[in-house]
């Protein structure tokens, strides 16, 4: 039975770093929907041109497409456990994911919310824009992504809270402290 752990947090929260550390700790695969889209573009996968029209501007890619990519990854992977970030990002994707997991008799074990204030996120990403020059990061795209985050992804997080699967962690602590908090919560849950 495949197991899923989900990591949520706004842009700049460090959710990707935390997902990687937890995946390493558990020997699970790390899945990042945004990372998959960027890899597809780097490898010139045929569909990637269509997809990058959206994400390069900071817009969400169509649900059907991202779902197809993500679900196919899980169905073909030999891994038994996944730490995923970036998906599901809205309620439609959440419902599709719940149905998908259910249909396979798989299991969502836990969800973590790395909490960072909007102001701190903006500061962190503005610094990242100067250093990394990620293709989809400029002020305009950042604003769109944060808007989508608060209006579409926060309701998804609230659903995990209702399912009693959510743990919130303070994302303004050090990387090590946040990681130990997540690991010890997971190990004791």
Beta-strand relationship, 81-85 and 107-115: unpaired
- 54 belongs to the binding site for ligand ADP (CB under 6 A): yes
Query: Which of residues 32 and 179 has its CB atom nearest to ligand ADP in the complex?
Result: 32
Interface residue with ligand ADP among 55, 74, 97, 112 (CB under 6 A) is: 55
Interface residue with ligand ADP among 87, 97, 113, 160 (CB under 6 A) is: 87
- 93 belongs to the binding site for ligand ADP (CB under 6 A): yes
Show the binding pattern over residues 157-186: x = contacts ligand ADP (CB under 6 A), - = does not: ------------------------------
The region, left, alpha or beta by phi > 0 then psi within -120 to 50, assigned to residue 164 is left
Closest CB to ligand ADP belongs to which residue? 34
Stretch that binds ligand ADP, among 73-81, 87-95, 98-106, 168-176 (CB under 6 A): 87-95
Which letter does DSSP use for residue 28 in this model?
P
Backbone angles phi, psi at 94, to 5 degrees: -60, -50
Interface residue with ligand ADP among 8, 22, 58, 160 (CB under 6 A) is: 58
Interface residue with ligand ADP among 61, 69, 96, 114 (CB under 6 A) is: 61
Interface residue with ligand ADP among 26, 29, 40, 60 (CB under 6 A) is: 60
What does the DSSP assignment read for 30-88? EEEHHHHHHHHHHTT-TTHHHHHHHHTTTPPPPHHHHHHHHHHHHHH---SEEEEES--
Contact between residue 182 and residue 22 where contact means Cβ atoms under 8 Å apart? yes
What are the CA-CA distances from residue 169 to residues 13, 172, 174, 175 (Å)?
Answer: 11, 9, 11, 11
Q: Which residues are near ligand ADP by CB under 6 A?
A: 11, 33-34, 37, 54-55, 58-61, 66, 86-87, 89, 93, 136, 145
């Amino acid at each position: 039975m495949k197991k899923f752990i989900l990591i949520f947090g706004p842009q700049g929260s460090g959710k990707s770093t935390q997902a990687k550390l937890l995946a390493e700790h558990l020997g699970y695969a790390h899945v990042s929907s945004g990372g998959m889209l960027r890899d597809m573009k780097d490898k010139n996968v045929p569909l990637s041109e269509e997809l990058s029209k959206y994400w390069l501007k900071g817009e969400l890619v169509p649900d059907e497409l991202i779902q197809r990519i993500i679900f196919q990854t899980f169905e073909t992977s030999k891994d038994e456990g996944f730490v995923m970030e970036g998906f599901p990002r809205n309620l439609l994707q959440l419902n599709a994911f719940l149905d998908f997991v259910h249909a396979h008799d798989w299991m969502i074990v836990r969800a973590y919310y790395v909490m960072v204030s909007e102001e701190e996120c903006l500061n962190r990403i503005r610094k990242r824009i100067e250093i990394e020059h990620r293709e989809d990061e400029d002020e305009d795209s950042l604003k769109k992504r944060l808007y989508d985050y608060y209006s579409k992804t926060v309701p998804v997080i609230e659903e995990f809270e209702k399912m009693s699967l959510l743990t919130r962690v303070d994302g303004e602590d050090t990387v090590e402290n946040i990681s130990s908090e997540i690991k010890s919560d997971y190990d004791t849950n």
